[in-house]
Amino acid sequence: MARLVNVTKSFNGQVVINNLSLDLSAPGITALVGASGCGKSTLLRIVAGLLAHDAGTVDAAPDRIGVVFQEPRLLPWLTVQENLELSLPRNHARSNAGKHAIANALACVHLADCEQKFPRQLSGGMAQRVAIARALLRSPELLLMDEPFAALDAITRGQLQLMLVDLVKSQQLKCLFVTHDLHEAETISDRIMVMHSGVIAASFQKQDNQYPSTLHSEVRSYLNQSLKSI
């Protein structure tokens, strides 16, 4: 579970997160959309414990959070197996149970027979699947994803989106998914939050597998406001 209450964060006097409160305890995918520089990634980094906030309360268990970045961030000198072992406690990583957990995590992201490969031998999509498997191995209560599919081609992106939706459903995960792509947010998420000027300006809940028809026009109006303020 993760909850933020009245969180504020500034950089060089400029407020990026402004007295923001957010509850991430609902299962499913929460998409966080907004214009570039609106504070989406800052918010995610605060929840992940990578960035200290100036004021407010962040109630999150860092040990139960899995993070997937825009880049896979696989250590190039380690094999896939060794990269995944880093997610497990040292004494557990090389045990049979550890190997079994790694094989399971790879199966979850539809990868097989790549344990002994090095990251340079993987495609962009495969590398990002390994990064997701690495996050899953931490048995996270909350999965944080910062534009994880932004650098991938359209076909691979589509495949990974579907895979993520299945994964979140089957493992009953809570996922905060940062993206600037409204179409992607609409496709994969159960709720969408629009970030604007450091606050959650609007939120939308999917009902009967559909978002309200006003979603696009409302989000566009916030994006336009952001463009004007640049």
Task: Choose between 147 and 190: whose C-beta lies nearer to other proteins.
Answer: 147
Residue 78, CA distances (Å) to 15, 46, 115, 153 in order: 40, 28, 10, 25
Query: With binding defined as CB under 8 A, does residue 62 bind other proteins?
Result: yes
Q: Which residues pair with 11 in a beta bridge?
A: 14
Q: Which stretch binds other proteins (CB under 8 A): 1-9, 62-70, 104-112, 208-216?
A: 62-70
Task: Choose between 134 and 157: whose C-beta lies nearer to other proteins.
Answer: 134
Query: With binding defined as CB under 8 A, does residue 52 bind other proteins?
Result: no
Q: Which of residues 70-129 bind other proteins (CB under 8 A)?
A: 71, 73, 75, 77-78, 86-87, 90, 118, 120
Task: Choose between 118 and 163: whose C-beta lies nearer to other proteins.
Answer: 118
Task: Choose between 131 and 219: whose C-beta lies nearer to other proteins.
Answer: 131
Query: Beta-carbon neighbour count of residue 62 at 10 Å?
Result: 13
Task: Choose between 90 and 183: whose C-beta lies nearer to other proteins.
Answer: 90
Strands 174-178 and 14-23, by their bridges, are unpaired
Distance of alpha carbon 37 from alpha carbon 34, whole angstroms: 8
Residue 223 makes CB contacts below 8 A (sequence gap 6+) with 34, 35
Q: Which stretch binds other proteins (CB under 8 A): 11-19, 35-43, 47-55, 149-157?
A: 47-55
Locate the DSSP E strands across the chain: 2-11, 14-23, 28-33, 55-60, 65-68, 142-146, 174-178, 191-196, 199-205
**Binding-site size, other proteins (CB under 8 A):** 21
Token representation of residue 196: 């604007």
Contact in structure between 83 and 119 (CB atoms under 8 Å)? yes
Query: With binding defined as CB under 8 A, does residue 65 bind other proteins?
Result: yes
Task: Choose between 177 and 222: whose C-beta lies nearer to other proteins.
Answer: 177
The continuous run of DSSP H or E covering 68 comes out as strand 65-68
Task: Compute the least distance from the CB of residue 24 to other proteins, in Å.
Answer: 16
- Give the per-residue contact string, 133-162, with other proteins (x = CB under 8 A; - = no): -x---x------------------------
